[in-house]
Amino acid sequence: MNSQTPTIVVLREGTDATQGKGQTISNINACLAVQDILRPTLGPLGSDVLVVDQQGKATISNDGATILKLLDVVHPAARLIVDISKSQDSEVGDGTSSTTILAGELLKEAKSFVEDNVPVQWIIKGYRKALIEAVKYIKSISQEIDPLANNGEMLLRVAATAMSSKIVAQNSEFFSRMVVDALLSLDLTSVIDERLIGVKKVVGGGIQDSTLVQGTAFKKTFSYAGFEQQPKQFDNPRIACLDVELELKAEKDNAEVRMTKVSDYQSVVDAEWKIIIQKLDEIVNSGCNVVLSQLPIGDLATQYFADRNIFCAGRVANDDMYRVIKATGATLQSTTSTLTSSDLGTCAKFEEKQVGHDRYNFFLNGSETKSCTLILRGGSEQFIAEVERSLHDAIMVVKRAIQAGKVVAGGGAAEMAISKHLRDISREIPGRQQLIIAAFARALEVIPKQLCENAGFDSVDILNLLRMKHSNGDIWAGVDFKSENVSNNFEAFVWEPELVKVNALQSATEAACVILSVDETVTNKQTQGPPM
């Protein structure tokens, strides 16, 4: 008898499975499409991208992480590139466009090897070996700086370089000083917490009307009747920070209370009043002048505090409360029964004043500043939002420069130096690994090349000049946007933290290797109900 092998069904009917060289090339092409979107945004003369979401909200930005976050990327391989840019943004705050463009270029160089049937694992091995040498080399040539010397003069250079490609490039000197002063006002002896730098956006006025508040500031919260009777200014106030609701509210639970006498109902009402009055008395007895709560403060409590010359604000945002607590030394209390004077914080001055069309509460710290707030002004919400993103990148870059204390030259200088070093190494390696490491070196040239193209320079001439300079030992030769030529960018103070470059190289290489290692994609068919 002829026995037939039974058919075994493993995947759901309609499941799409593609594999092999074609699938790898398809994944590479998808990532190159994402790279093409960000290419024009790179550098000081890069253009912006207008992204409109499903609700019709328009966002204008040249920040790589912001653009990729707003794009609805559906290709699974291309989404890996998006994740890498998010990682770069959260880790170091800048270099997201460079990371994405470099990852795409590494895949583009690998594409020719894949088409020539070179095993993918050979390519991955060569890329990882090149990465190790690149990181080792950039750490050997990076220059140490004293970030706190001359009132942060070195940090101003780093901040200006980070802003050179942003919308605030024309006002980089103004905002660089603001960013550096903000970070220098924090405690630099421990890990720098960027959450202590608040950013508030007020539409109206010019960009030069933006200010740095040495303390915590937030928009006046929702207030009830009696608020205007409260004092709006204190010197050395005693501040209570609460997570307590001070409001009479109807029962939310489906409870049923049966009463036979009117006096019973009155006793329930009196009990509610007694509870909230007891809470208010405990707060007043602590000796505080200012009461802040993350939960609502109702009209009864507002009037009660006003009668006793106490300022209150309810529904304070978590981030604002966090900064107030860190700046004033208060402790957040979830009950009033244990509130004492030792739980209160203090600052040099509290006041409420007008900023644009809004009222703002200011907690000024005095000489020992532990938090600060950037109040950004501008003509439109989209413009101010882009300024905020630009300052976030600059803050993160300066933070890394303070922590690491090592910088390299920007403008494509570091990439060209690494590229030349890898070419020299590749000549000493036999076999196909030589070609793969040389391809990694070629991919690094995409950064200065794209900088030139976005600025309208002749990229071929500039790249040839850069290769010649670096072959003669000028490791800091990079693109000079003022003279449309090449120059020593380290002497020109075009500086970037070493950590930004190292993280960008590692993220881009890892993304390329992950995508190259995928040669099969299984797409499950969507069904209306559970499988049978």
Q: Which band of pLDDT confidence, cut at 50, 70 and 90, is reported for residue 441?
A: very high
Long-range CB contacts (within 8 A, 24+) of 51-55: none
Residue after which a domain boundary falls, among 316, 343, 368: 368
Is residue 418 within 8 Å of residue 134, measured between CB atoms? yes
Phi, psi (5° rounding) for residue 200? Answer: -120, 140
Same domain, 220 and 357: yes
Q: Which band of pLDDT confidence, cut at 50, 70 and 90, is reported for residue 442?
A: very high
| CATH number of the domain encompassing residue 180 | 3.30.260.10
Domain-located, residue 5: no
- Determine what percent of the chain is predicted with pLDDT higher than 70: 91
Task: Please write the tens of the pLDDT for every residue from 468-489.
Answer: 999 998 999 999 888 888 999 8
Task: Please write the tens of the pLDDT for every residue from 14-63.
Answer: 444 555 677 788 888 888 988 888 888 888 888 888 888 878 888 888 78
Same domain, 91 and 160: no
Is residue 340 within 8 Å of residue 261, measured between CB atoms? no
- Determine what percent of the chain is predicted with pLDDT higher than 90: 28
Give the residues across from 363 on adjacent strands.
Answer: 216, 350
Q: Which band of pLDDT confidence, cut at 50, 70 and 90, is reported for residue 420?
A: very high
Cα-Cα-Cα-Cα torsion 164, 170, 173, 179, nearest 10 degrees, comes to -70
Whole-number pLDDT of residue 168:
80
Same domain, 140 and 273: no
Same domain, 234 and 340: yes
Provide the token pair at 425: 């190494």
Q: Cα separation of 78 and 51, whole Å? A: 18
Rounded to 5 degrees, what angle do the CA atoms 396, 100, 477 make? 75
Domain-located, residue 84: yes
User: Can you tell me the mean pLDDT for 58-75?
Assistant: 82
Provide the token pair at 443: 């991919």
Whole-number pLDDT of residue 11:
52
- What one-character DSSP code corresponds to residue 47? P
Whole-number pLDDT of residue 133:
94
Neighbouring C-alpha atoms within 13 Å toward the C-beta of 37: 25
Whole-number pLDDT of residue 252:
53
Same domain, 333 and 472: no
Handedness of CA 385, 54, 104, 466 (dihedral sign): negative
Surface-to-core class of residue 120, CB atoms within 10 Å of its CB (0-12 exposed, 13-18 middle, 19+ buried): middle
Is residue 106 within 8 Å of residue 127, measured between CB atoms? yes
Whole-number pLDDT of residue 173:
86
Domain-located, residue 447: yes
Whole-number pLDDT of residue 251:
53
- Which residues in 343-380 are b (16+ Cβ under 10 Å) and which e? bbbbbbebbbeebeeeebbbbbbeeebbbbbbbbbbee
39: left (phi over 0), alpha (psi -120 to 50) or beta: alpha
Same domain, 208 and 222: no
* 118: pLDDT strictly greater than 60: yes
Is residue 54 within 8 Å of residue 66, measured between CB atoms? no
Domain-located, residue 25: yes
Whole-number pLDDT of residue 522:
62
Domain-located, residue 70: yes
Surface-to-core class of residue 232, CB atoms within 10 Å of its CB (0-12 exposed, 13-18 middle, 19+ buried): middle
Same domain, 45 and 91: yes
Q: Name the domain count of the chain.
A: 3
Minimum mean pLDDT range among 72-76, 97-101, 517-521: 517-521
- Output the average pLDDT for the chain: 84
Whole-number pLDDT of residue 110:
92
Whole-number pLDDT of residue 317:
92
- Which helix or strand (DSSP H or E) is residue 51 part of? strand 49-52
Domain-located, residue 9: no
Whole-number pLDDT of residue 132:
94
Same domain, 25 and 127: yes
Give the residues across from 235 on adjacent strands.
Answer: 349
Phi, psi (5° rounding) for residue 351? Answer: -155, 155
Q: Which residue has the higher pLDDT, 69 or 252?
A: 69
Provide the token pair at 163: 């802003």
Distances (CA, A) of 293 to 193, 240, 336, 507: 23, 8, 11, 42
Same domain, 230 and 362: yes
Distances (CA, A) of 206 to 26, 114, 146, 202, 376: 48, 54, 34, 10, 9
- Which residues in 165-195 are b (16+ Cβ under 10 Å) and which e? bbbbeebbeebbbbbbbbbbbbeeeeebeee
Domain containing 202 equals 155-212+375-404
Q: Which band of pLDDT confidence, cut at 50, 70 and 90, is reported for residue 3?
A: low
Surface-to-core class of residue 292, CB atoms within 10 Å of its CB (0-12 exposed, 13-18 middle, 19+ buried): buried
Q: Which band of pLDDT confidence, cut at 50, 70 and 90, is reported for residue 250?
A: low
Same domain, 110 and 24: yes
Whole-number pLDDT of residue 103:
92
Q: Which band of pLDDT confidence, cut at 50, 70 and 90, is reported for residue 262?
A: confident
Whole-number pLDDT of residue 532:
43
Domain-located, residue 3: no
Whole-number pLDDT of residue 367:
59
Whole-number pLDDT of residue 1:
47
Chain centroid, CA 497 distance in Å: 16
pTM for the predicted model, two decimal places: 0.78
Q: Cα separation of 192 and 190, whole Å? A: 6
Whole-number pLDDT of residue 162:
83
Same domain, 505 and 450: yes
Pairing of strands 290-293, 238-242: parallel
Whole-number pLDDT of residue 435:
92
Is residue 279 within 8 Å of residue 329, measured between CB atoms? no
| CATH number of the domain encompassing residue 121 | 1.10.560.10
Domain-located, residue 72: yes
Whole-number pLDDT of residue 368:
64
Same domain, 274 and 394: no
